[in-house]
Structure formats: structure tokens, C-alpha cells
A and B are shown apart, each in its own frame.
Chain A
């Protein structure tokens, strides 16, 4: 069962400021039907309007695809937004309708379907953003795989040149306009208001509108598949863009919608950062992600209008017949490139700076150190943003632009490496001598440092005029931009997704799958993109469907690398979906982070904070005793103020497998998180309660030896009932059930694990223990070793009883040693027979003990006690020796033992009477 914000503890009636939470009653289908009618109606209306206008004014031809498509795309998009309810509030307000500040009927979700309708909750919008942008990432990724498949071998494989151009244009457009730029809007939407201690963004309704612009933009791009794909790449330079199909018009419209989304979100972020910070949250106490989002938003607000302008001009040329880009009519093609890059270079920083912010959070948290150079980090981002407006023409060194512009742009380009270097060194200095936790988010962060460094260095190459002239429009540029965007955007997005996944969903992701995802992507990235540097220097041009046969091998290798990236993405989505649905419950603060979002529940309550938090210090004071970022009061049921060292209960249900290495390793692995306390529950139906007690005592002793905080009890009753009761009583965050394989487990045969799953609300993990592992007592080395010396008593029930009694008195492991004193020759018939008998007896004793939960092994020795015992003591180093003698032999054994023992205590027990010889 997936949980959704609001958390149940804060569900309606929880009392937020005294008003109840009412959800809008209209179902999701209502909005989609309305959106359908809105879209279709607006498209038909635009056709009719154009037809009438063109017939009245006598335009020729009456039907012009570009004009009709353009206007229908624009109005259809607006109709869709109206249908989804984006404008309802403002229309209502402008008609003088009744509005209430306390109307939160579009806030929060109570089931997953409601993610598909308009919502004003920043947490829901954040997830909508992420899901939508990741969907477009997959679409763009499929295009990338098609490109790589076409390039797998020289010559044409399955696409013609025009189709190939369509693939690469669609790939870049989707990846840039509806993935890389807005995806950070998703992460920041979710995290930023909580980080600042705010209840929501400054303008929740505008926030919803910004999100719904995105599907319009993305589907306008995708719709061009059906109208003839645009094929002038994402840069859409005229005259190529002036000539393309109807898809080109839809592209231009899509960019306008994406740009509007970007500007609206950016204004919202800035207003939130400036006006919504919690008391005490000065700008120098803001997490770096807030700085990054703020700086990015300034870029988005002031740069995005330029791409809007450039696309308006190309669109007017296409549908109105203006002559902006027709040189013999006074038009100027270079002008397009200037306007376009004046946005699109800052856009690179729009795609990178939020990632820098995420990496700063992740590295500080997982290195357990204060972020090095906090202020330098903030200032360097401001510097990057300011300089970012002054480097645009380095994309145009070979375009034929004014030659004097080259050198100034080269200089600013190289200068921009300085603040970037400040950040790189600050991250490294944060890692330096830190206590690194290599969890998945940290792996992505380290992968980012490596990959982005290569991209940054090749960026300096590209910024130098003569080098750039050499590599312009070759695969060197392709390699550079993919290193920058893979490192700076994809890796940082994944770092952020894994980092905040527990916060967003309330569930933990699967760490192993996360690491698989990382390593496959990391290796795939290097295989796919590193050889492109060489290819580019050798002169292979980019954006061409065919190539010289001498590049065949390297292209084939790159194609293999790209498929690895595809497989990694499948693993990622599997992990996200399955973990959200049935992953273990996440605690409030799985990473021991310091920033405010870790001081609310996972997922956070409807309005984030029940009381306004008070910020009292910087956000990254890891390892500083008593340092605090903020004071947050949790609701009563969570025990008042949240402490960072709170542990959350995990219930472990096991009986036969309780002492196994597999289970103990599992518990130790979880314990390494530092978040959990364990309650071991041993259900006993009609077996031996004493055996269960003994196993429990052994396991608890072993766990205590490893420093695991655990309690335990034996409970009578059916395993399902016992487990369910224990989980409910402890409010368990997870229930671990350990069983033998199906063939040997009564629990498995009666489907107990599934029944427990149904009977409890907590997530269940099933640990399967191999039979031989369950018999060998685990972690035995952690327990004190007691050496039991016996000869005649071997095989007797009395010996087993003695050892059991000792095991119950104090958890220990035992070695039963039998020094046989065999007659010569030791290979003779008599000796062999004695050895065999002793061996059978030893097996019987050990089995009897192991089956009743005692950690024991046996050893039959050929020599007399005086020879054998010193050897045994030297080999086993026991902490205590027990002589289990039968009548007369006890004394002789004890003497030999004391001689061998040194300062190890020796105890002699005569079990003669009980053994009965």
C-alpha cells in the first residue's frame, strides 16, 4: 500500500489552524472530460475563426497548414488548461465570486489517482513535475536509442536522413525543454518550501498552472510525430526552421508553453525565497539548494523571454510571412542565433545550478561534515549566473558573426571556469577526511564530480576560439555537452531523487537496485560518450545519419554503452515503482540530515509544519556537538520535539532460523543505518518453549556483542497472530520474517509470510535461510567459548543435559572434546573401531544439542588427555573448561586439563550417576 501526503496522522480533522480539510468532490474523470472538450472545442473554434477571417479578408490560400496548426495548437493548449481547471479560481475571482483564503479543496491527495488532476499542494505538484519530466525523459531516451541504433554501423540501418534528423531534434528538444529545465522545478517544488520552513509556495495556484503548461509543451512536441517531425535540432536555426514541416510550428509553440512554465515557476520560487522563510532563516542560513534555486530562477526570469522572442520571430516568418530571416529582404540570420543563445547559454546554468545545490546537500550529509566554503559556494553561483549572461556568442564562433566579439566571449567563457572551480574544490574539500557513507545518492554525487569535471574541462577547450573552430559541429561538442548534462543534470537529478525518495514517498528505495542503477549508468555514460571526444577530433560531424567506415568500431561500442543506459533506466523505474508500493517504511530522517525537511514526517503532513519552526543555526553543522539548525515541534503522537537519534522499531519474527548467520547479518546490515531498534519475537505453537528461549538468548547475546540494540521475547501462539500483534504493539516500521526454504518450513507451507503481510499494515521483508545455515550457530565467534572435555560420557543424554543447563545459565558456544587415548597402532582395527564409536557418540550429542538450540561442535582426538588437551586449549582458546567425567576418569581428565589450562578456569562435574555408564 503506497502512502500519500497527507500522512494519516494529519488527515482531515487533524486541526490545522482550526479549519477542516475539504477535498474538491469532483472526480478525476470530470477534469479530463472537461479538458478533452476544452481542447477539441478550442481547436475547432480556431479553425472556424481562421476560415472566416481568411475568407472575409480574401487571404490566399484559404487553407494554410502552418497557420491553422499554429493557432489551433495555441488555443488548444489554452483550452486544455482551462479544462483542467487552471483558470477556474481567477475566472471566479474576476467575476466577483466569493473567495476564501481558507479554501484548500485542491490541496493534497488521498489516493494515487488524484495526482492526475489539478492540485495546489507543492508536494503533489513536485511529484507531478517529476513524474511528467521523467516520462518525457523516457520519450527522449527512446529517441536517443533510435539514434544510436541507426549509428550502430556505417550506412543507413532503418531510418532515412530526414527521419534521423527528426529523432535527434526530438531527442534534444524533449530532453532540454521538458526534462532538464523543469525537472529541478519538481525537486525544488517538493523540497524548497519545507527547507525554508514554509507551508507552501508563495502562489500555489500559479504553481499548478506552471506545472500544467508542461504536458501541453511536451505533447505539442510529441504531436509533431504525426504532422511531420521538426528536424532542425533543438536550436531551430533559420532558414532550416523556416522551411520545416508543420511540426516546426508546433515546436515553436511548445517552446512558448515550456518557457511560460519556466518563468512562472521561477517567479514563484523567488517570491517564496524572499517572503516565506521561517523566522531565523537568514539568507546565510539557507541551504545551498535554496541559493541554487534562487539564482536559477533569476536566470529563468530574465533569460527565458529571449527564446520566446526568437521563437515568435521564426513563427511570424513561417505563418505571417514576415522577413526577419530572409536576407534579401533585409533580414538577418545571425540575429536569430544571438537572441537564441542569449537564452540558451544561461539555460545551461538553469540546467546545472539546481544540480549543484542538490550535490551540496548530498555531499555534506553523506560525508558528515559541514559544507566547505558555504559562502563561497553561494557567491560562486551568483558569479556563474552573472557571467552566464556574457558568454552566449561562444556558441557562434564559426557562424560569421562580428569578429571582434570572439575574443571577449572567449575571455568571459574561460573566466566562468573560475567560480565553477571554486565549487568543485569546495566539494572535494567537504569530502576530505569526511566519514563517507556510500549510499546511492552519494554514489551519484561522486559520479557527478567525475563526469562533470571531464565535461567542464572539455568546455574550456570549446571556449578557446581556435580550438572551437577546429571542433565545431563535430562529436567533440556532442561529447562535451553530454558529459556536462549527464553529469550536471542526470546524475544530480538521480542523486536528489534517491536522497529525497524516502521523504517524498514515506518508503525506502531498494539500495541494491539503486547501486546497480548507478554503476550501469556510470559505466554506460563513459562507454557511450568518452570515445566521442576522439571521434570529434578526428572530424566526424555531428547530426549526420551516416559516417566514414573507419569510425565503425567506436560507434558500435557507443551503441552498446547506450543500451546499458537504457537497461539502467528500466532498473531505476522498477525500483521507484516497487519501492513506493511496497518498500520498507521510511523514518523521518533516514540520512540524519540537518535541514528542515528532515524534521517533519515522511511524507510530510498536509501543511508541512504544525507549528512554525524557529531556525537557530546554519544548515550543515555535521559533527559539531550540540549544533542545531532549527527547532521543530512534532505532534504529540510522535513524542514532541524531534530528536536526531530517535530509533524506530523493527520486529523480527523467527524461530528455527533465529540463530542463523543469514538473519544475524541481515539485522546487522540494517543496524548500520543507525535508525532502528529490533524486537525479536519467537512464536511457539506447540514446540519446545525452552529451545526457543535458548535460541533467543544466544541471538541476543550475539547481537549485543555486535552492538545491536535488540530485545526479545518468546510468544505462544500462531506465527501470524504473534507477528501481527507484535507489529501493531511496537508500531513497527518493518517486519522481518525469517524462514527455512519451503520444503523444510512449516510456516512457508501454510503461507504464513503472505498472511502476515495481509494482517499487518507494516511492510514485510522475508529472509530465506538455507537449512544448513540455520543449524550452524551464527556469529558464534562473538560468544565466549566453553570447552567440554568428555570421553566415556560421549553420546550420553546426561552430557547433553549438562551442556544445555550451562547454555541456559549463560549464552555461550561449546566445543566438546573427546581425547580418546587410542591404543597403538592407531591405524589398527581396535583403534579404528574405538574412533568410530566415539564419532557416532559425538554426532549424537552434537545433534541433540544443535536441535535444541545450543551452539556446539564436537572434536574427537586420538591422543591421551595429557597430549590432546594442551593442543585443544591452544587451538580453541576457551574461556572456561568443563570436565564432564564419568566417575573415576573425571579426576584424571581434570588433572590433565588443569596442567594444560594455564589461567583458564577448570570445573569438574561428575555425571557418572546420570550417565549410568
Chain B
């Protein structure tokens, strides 16, 4: 990008704005979720499925999964710190571990879908649940793709202390995915 002295890095600014936009997308989905939740507040929570049983979410398993995802953010941060001191190998290691942890999160989440015992076609709550977690899963996938591209470039020694914009942008995105999940976990699973 043509960069002029004294100005912000355009690519990082764009990533921050994009993340802002993505946050608003999740905000709209959370709005939907809360309207549905408010609508059944006078009955019971968790609401009842079509077969009369209450919706049950595997909170403990998801807590572990949440910790994996949160930890992956710290691993990525560690990898970037390694690059800052010129340790490209450290960056590659950090990226590999982050990608593996993110992949684990996705697989655990898909496994959870398979064993939940309700489908998106159940009552409105299930639609909101699958939409929120599904959208988040798609974002994790995008984050993994971005990190994989960075990994490929890290193997080519493209990044250095002075040039790391794509890596920084990808890591912003990964932290965003992480933070949204923490929100989602608290708002949908815990409370």
C-alpha cells in the first residue's frame, strides 16, 4: 500500500474497521437471540423443545473448548513476540500451535452439534443457537485460513520486525474471533 509518513497503516485500519463491522453483525444476531429470550422469559429458562424437554447445552465441555480458544490467542501473541526478537522459527511454532488449537475448537464444536439432541428446525431458540455458533464457527474457519496463509509466508521468511502487517491483521482477526466466542459462551451457555 502506498503509505505516507505520519499516517496510520491503511491495512491495519481497514482490518480494524472490518472487525468493527463483523462485531455489528454479531450484535444483530445477539439482538435476535435476546428478543427470543425475552419472549420466553415469563415461562422458564432454558426454554422447552418441541418434544417438551428443556434445551440442554453441554456447558462444561464448552468451557474447556473456550479455554482452548482463549489459550490459542495467547499462543499467537507469543509467536508474534518471537518474531519481534527476530525468531522466525518461534513464529512458525506459534502459528502451528494456534492453528491446531483453533482446529480442535472447531472439531469439538461440530461434535457438540452432533450430540446436542436438537436441530435448527426446533423452536426459535435452537435457530438462534445454531445461527450464532454457526456464524462464529465460520469466522473461526476464516481465521484459520488467514493464519495458514501467514504460516506459508512465515516459512518463506516474509515477516520481520519491520514488516508484519498481514500477520498483525490476521492476529487482530483471531483475537476478535476469540473475544466474540467468550461473549457468546457467557451470553448463551452460562447465563
Contacts and interface: CB of A to CB of B under 8 A. Distances in A.
Interface of A: 94, 96, 199-200, 202-203, 206, 263, 266-268, 270-272, 274-277, 279, 301-306, 308-310, 312-313, 316-317, 320-324, 326, 329-332, 334-335, 338-339, 342
A200 B2 CA distance: 9
9 contacts: A267-B21, A274-B8, A275-B4, A301-B24, A309-B29, A313-B32, A323-B126, A329-B50, A332-B124
Contacts of B31: 309, 335, 338-339, 342
B8 to A, nearest CB: 5
Nearest to B148: A94
A202 B14 contact: yes
B10 A203 contact: yes
A301 B20 contact: yes
B90 interface: no
B124 A313 contact: no
Interface in B1-54: 1-4, 7-11, 13-14, 17-18, 20-22, 24-25, 27-29, 31-32, 35-36, 38-40, 47, 50
Residue of B17, B122, B149 with most chain A CB atoms under a 10 A cut-off: B17
A202 B14 CA distance: 9
Given A270-B13, A305-B28, A330 B152 contact: no
B39 A304 contact: no
A306 B4 CA distance: 34
Nearest to B47: A330
Contacts of A301: 17, 20-21, 24
Mostly, the B contact residues are: helix
A317 B10 CA distance: 39
B86 interface: no
A289 to B, nearest CB: 20
B156 interface: yes
Contacts of B1: 202-203, 275
A339 B4 CA distance: 39
B28 A310 contact: yes
Mostly, the A contact residues are: helix
B99 to A, nearest CB: 16
A322 B21 contact: no
Contacts of A203: 1, 10, 14
A750 to B, nearest CB: 56
B123 interface: yes
A309 B40 contact: no
Interface stretch (B69-77, B127-135, B180-188): B127-135
B162 interface: no
B159 interface: no
Contact of B20 (A206, A268, A302, A320): A302
A322 B121 contact: yes
Interface in B59-82: none
B173 interface: no
A279 B120 CA distance: 55
Contacts of B174: none
Contacts of A266: 17
A825 B144 CA distance: 117
B125 interface: yes
A200 B153 CA distance: 27
Contacts of A308: 25, 28
Residue of B22, B28, B35, B123 with most chain A CB atoms under a 10 A cut-off: B28
A512 B25 CA distance: 48
Contacts of B7: 274-277
